[in-house]
Chains A and B, each alone.
Chain A
């Protein structure tokens, strides 16, 4: 029988012969049932940009940004440490249920937030270089840029790769440990960056 272990951040990996009842649940790396929802959200984004009036853009930017910030903070500081303390079967089941959803959710909310935010900023004139809080706007670009490089270069590939590994008949515990550590570490890092985002966005809102 295959040995399987899903480690957590900061804890030693545990390798156990899984009990037959603790077999990995079947899952799709990209949950196809969620694709129509993603298409709908992107359709709303295109419509919002095409209409180019403040309310739909504000709605998309705030909803997307709130989801992005909350998910990053919750994943980095709440879910990550909890995952490290779950039993092995629970960790496997949690991972195979949570991470496929993240494959769809995160790129969607990030795209909606950025595209709607840019359009809104153009509409309101806040992205223009003569805006009186231009320095704060540029700071937000930098924070988002750093988060994007971390998320796209480390977090997203680790997310996909750990799911691909869990799909194998005999997942390699060391591979899963390495990738999960990378995932949880980068999630914590982007969670920290989100605090900077909150500081900047509240300053921009307050004026």
Chain B
């Protein structure tokens, strides 16, 4: 390059340095945004049994609500337990917020809350429960907790053991949201909730998500959380079959309801319902459609090779 003056040379050097600094900053930002990172992780419950996971790789970034889907026995709950350090992998590692999950360091656990499918609460009332556990979470917000209880219509004077399963679930969800942890992992969060509460849960979860936070929802009840999830992870046969944002999925696939399957070029998959055929097409014309998680799940699990080809990295 020829520079007509020293000034021009210095300006060029400054711009080049500034460009590299921007690239480095973006890279650091990407690395920082990764909240959960699983590298070559293998796990089995017993040496005599086949692996639940084999050399699994997965990254979860801030600002997303991940839906973790899989058949019964695919290992969803096991994966959540590996992420939270309740189970240890035989090979590979799982890092949460830059810390190894199996070490269960308090710094990690202060920013990670795991809501299990079955809820255990001590034999006390809500105030007693808060006295026992709230102080462990430095960012715990009493106001958020009270607001959630009001929205869920829970009487805080009742003994937790005497509440119904759904009521205990609501208290647990309220507590989880009030901890303001950066990572919320929930196993079947809407299981046991009544219909109005499911909508309230979706609203509350949508309100708390930001770039610094990540929510992982493991569920079979996809209809409850379809509008909330923005990234889909499908577990099948010891591996991650699909890990894409809903936007990416809708760019590749088109979801339609048809009355007849006659003369449908590009049809990849269909299933019959009383309201018609739910069909999946390759989205060659960049059209918009509403993602149907149930149909997507059935399509990917029945066509793993095609799924891999469509969503090649």
Real binding pair: no
Q: Which positions in A face B, CB cutoff 8 Å?
A: none
Q: Which positions in B face A, CB cutoff 8 Å?
A: none
